[in-house]
Amino acid sequence: KAGVTQTPRYLIKTRGQQVTLSCSPISGHRSVSWYQQTPGQGLQFLFEYFSETQRNKGNFPGRFSGRQFSNSRSEMNVSTLELGDSALYLCASSFPGGTEAFFGQGTRLTVV
Amino acid sequence: QKEVEQDPGPLSVPEGAIVSLNCTYSNSAFQYFMWYRQYSRKGPELLMYTYSSGNKEDGRFTAQVDKSSKYISLFIRDSQPSDSATYLCAMSARSGAGSYQLTFGKGTKLSVIP
């Protein structure tokens, strides 16, 4: 059974640019969550999508947005990139109503 | 006070030792408790999942939850060099929207020395 797939694995962007990250959940999982991981703050919740609707949102600025498609695949977008956005962005998927979250390998974003 | 506190270590033990990793939390609404293992440059891997207070064992790993003290632990018996990784505790409470948002500890970096 394939795990959570995130693309791309690595990205280098310039300040002010925007970026889109992609996540394909485990087959049958309809809930997709995004997390930001940095050495200083650890893993922080960005948002969760279920059935194409954002169900929960963390404490991040509006520059961070996401969406989910009918096949449960999800994308997150960060606009007007800042140096502080450099981080490992992780996607996790769960069964509907499930509390066990399974993570992908992450996308490492570097903003220069 | 952070919702979840976890000693970042680093923790270094000899091969074969028993390892104890701990987290404390302040939010009484947390109902589900997880331990993840994260190797360098990889995503977190779910190790243990518990709901109620008490112990849960899986091979060399035992997860312990004490809701009255708001304290959770992960024990690793007969530790191996392959256990060297960062261990993250995570907890969740059902949100008003029906979802379960995970709150993580900062992680403890473990090294098992051969």
Instruction: Express each pLDDT in B11-68 by its tens digit.
Output: 999 999 999 999 999 999 898 999 999 999 899 999 999 887 889 999 999 999 999 9
Chain A residues near residue B99 by CB distance under 8 angstroms: 31, 48, 50, 55-56
Determine the length of chain A. Answer: 112
User: How confident is the model at residue B36, as a pLDDT?
Assistant: 97
A80: left (phi over 0), alpha (psi -120 to 50) or beta: left
Contact criterion met (CB below 8 Å) for A79 and A15: no
Cα A57 to Cα B54: distance, rounded to the nearest angstrom: 31
Task: Work out the minimum CA distance from A104 to partner chain B, whole angstroms.
Answer: 6
User: How confident is the model at residue B98, as a pLDDT?
Assistant: 67
Say if strands B32-38 and B45-50 run parallel, antiparallel, or are unpaired: antiparallel
**Kind and range of the H or E run holding A90:** strand A87-94
User: How confident is the model at residue A100, as a pLDDT?
Assistant: 85
Is B105 in the A-facing interface, judged by CB distances under 8 Å? yes
User: How confident is the model at residue A95, as a pLDDT?
Assistant: 83
pLDDT (tens digit per residue) in B55-99: 999 999 999 999 999 999 999 999 999 999 999 999 988 766 667
Task: Work out the minimum CA distance from B94 to partner chain A, whole angstroms.
Answer: 9
Whether A90 sits inside 8 A of B101 (CB atoms) is no
Query: Which strand ranges, in their side-by-side order, compose the sheet holding B54-58?
Result: B4-6, B19-25, B71-76, B61-66, B54-58
Whether A48 sits inside 8 A of B99 (CB atoms) is yes
pLDDT (tens digit per residue) in A9-56: 999 999 999 999 999 999 999 999 999 999 989 999 999 999 999 988
